[in-house]
Amino acid sequence: MGRPTRVALVTGAAQGIGAAVARALADEAVIAAVDTNAEGLSSLVTELHAKGLQAAAFPANVSDVTTVEATVERIEQELGPIEVLTNVAGVLRPGPILSYSDEDWAFTFSVNTLGVFQVSRAVARRMVPRRRGAIVTVGSNAAAVPRMQMAAYAASKAASSMFTKCLGLELAPHGIRCNVVSPGSTDTAMQRALWPDEHGAQAVIAGSPEAYRLGIPLQRIASPEDIASAVRFLVSDAARHITLHDLRVDGGATLDA
C-alpha cells in the first residue's frame, strides 16, 4: 500500500469520537489533528506514528476565528491541500433551561456551532478552487428530538447540522460534498459524565419514561468506532453521490425521527 497523499483535518481529535475518526482515516489520509487538548493530540499522533501512519498535531481552539484561519493555512502549507474535513469538536454542559447560565449557553454554541462554521468556511474557501473535497459534521440525534436539560446542546447541534446542509447546497456546484453523522449515546468520556453510577449504560439502553426518552432498540451503546465508520464511509468515494444527508447512528433510539 502506498503512502496516502490526501489530507484529512479532524477537529476534536484528542479523544472520544474525534480520536476514533482520526484512527479510521489514518490509513488513507495524512491526519491533521486539531483540539485544544495538546497532550491528547500528542498521544494520538505518537500512536499513529508507531503504526507507520502519518499525522501531525495542531493545537487550536475552533471558536477563535484568528486561530482557525492560521491553523488551516499552516496545515495546507505543512501537509498539503485539505481534501477531507470532519467537524467533531463538541462540548456538553447539561442543565435546566430556567437556571441555565448565559456563559454556558455561549460556550456551548461557540464550540458546537460557531466552531463548525469557522473551520468549515476556512477549509471550504480552499476546496472550492480545487473543485474537490468532502466535509462531515458530527452532530447528534438530540438535534432532532427534544431532550430534557440538554437545550443548549440540542439547539447547537441542530444549528450546526442545518448549517452543514446549507453549506453542502452552496458547494455542490463545485463538486464538494457535505454531510452529517448524528450519533446517539456513545461510550465516551462525555457520555460517562452523565451516568450517576456504574449502571449508567444499562439505564440509557432501557430509556427513561419520566424524561420522555426512549431506549435503544439495538440494546447497546455505540462505540466511537461505530461513529467513525459512518464518517469514513461518507468521506469516501463509495459515497460520491451522497450530499446534504444526515446519517443517524443511534441504534434506532430516535425511531428515525
Q: What is the pLDDT of residue 196?
A: 72
Which stretches within the chain are classed as H helix?
16-25, 38-50, 65-78, 102-109, 115-130, 151-171, 189-192, 200-206, 224-235
Q: Where are the domains of the chain?
A: 7-184+223-248, 186-221
212 is known as an active-site residue: no
- Residue pair 179/135 in contact (Cβ under 8 Å)? The answer is yes
pTM score, whole prediction: 0.94
> 1 pLDDT exceeds 60?
no
pLDDT tens digit sequence for 207-232: 888 888 889 999 999 999 999 999 99
Q: Looking at 109, 117, 153, 163, which residue is catalytic?
A: 153
118 vs 3, which has greater pLDDT?
118
**Of 146, 235, 222, nearest in space to 184 by CA:** 222
Phi and psi at residue 177, to the nearest 5° = -100, 140
Instruction: Look at residue 113 and tell me whether its pLDDT is greater than 80.
Output: yes
If you average pLDDT over residues 82-107, what whole number do you get?
98
Q: What confidence score (pLDDT) does residue 207 get?
A: 81
- Quote the distance between the C-alpha of residue 230 and its chain's center: 11
CA contacts within 13 A on the Cβ side of 217: 8
Q: How far is CA 168 from the centre of its chain?
A: 16
145-200 pLDDT, tens digit each = 999 999 999 999 999 999 999 999 999 999 999 999 999 988 877 777 766 776 67
pLDDT given at position 199:
62
User: Virtual CA dihedral for 8, 185, 247, 113, nearest 10 degrees?
Assistant: -60
- The CATH code belonging to domain 7-184+223-248 is 3.40.50.720
Q: What does pLDDT average to over the chain?
A: 94
Of the pLDDT bands very low, low, confident and very high (cuts 50, 70, 90), residue 87 is: very high
Residue 77's pLDDT band (boundaries 50, 70, 90)? very high
pLDDT tens column, 36-76: 999 999 999 999 999 999 999 999 999 999 999 999 999 99
Q: Is a pLDDT exceeding 70 seen at residue 2?
A: no
- CA–CA dist 87, 9 (Å, integer): 8
pLDDT exceeds 60 at position 250: yes
